Amino acid sequence: MSTPPDPKFTHGSKAEFWIGTADAPEVLVDVSDRLNNVGLPWQRDKGEVSTFKSTTKKYVGGLKDAAFPMEGPYDPWLDGILDELINYDSVVFRYRPIGTGTGKPEYNGRFMLTKHEIATEVGGPGTISAEGQVDGEAPRSIQA
């Protein structure tokens, strides 16, 4: 077994996020400076295959799935993009959790916007939030 490399921790503010738009679904637009929270939470279905006389449960793995959150302060430009995407099938996205640079990871794929919310309250800033349902694969790759 090989020794893992030293960890390369970075601050969350280095993350970068791009999305396609309804007008140009295959063209990435940088929305990094409009958001302060993005993630890519993968989960996997499981099917129970336990049988009679078993004393523990057994499972088989199923399909993977991810729906990522997007949040930030209210921005009219981003609100316009998301307002159009809520009616659109799927567009591209790129997520770089520790920024741009050789050897850093990135995730590319397609998503469908399934939630778009704006909120305001007395005594606080307006906010915008959305959820993107990953459509198919979003493989991890390493930037060259």
Confidence of residue 78 (pLDDT cuts 50, 70, 90): very high
Domain span including residue 70: 14-43+61-142
User: 55 lies in a domain?
Assistant: no
Please tell me the total count of domains within the chain: 1
Q: What is the mean pLDDT of residues 44-66?
A: 96
Q: What is the mean pLDDT of residues 30-56?
A: 96
pTM of the model: 0.89
CATH code for the domain of 91 = 2.40.30
Position 41 scores a pLDDT of 95
User: 2 lies in a domain?
Assistant: no
pLDDT at 130 over 80: yes
User: 1 lies in a domain?
Assistant: no
Which of 74, 47, 78 lies closest to 62, judged by CA?
47
Position 2 scores a pLDDT of 80
Burial class (CB in 10 A: 0-12, 13-18, 19+), 130: buried
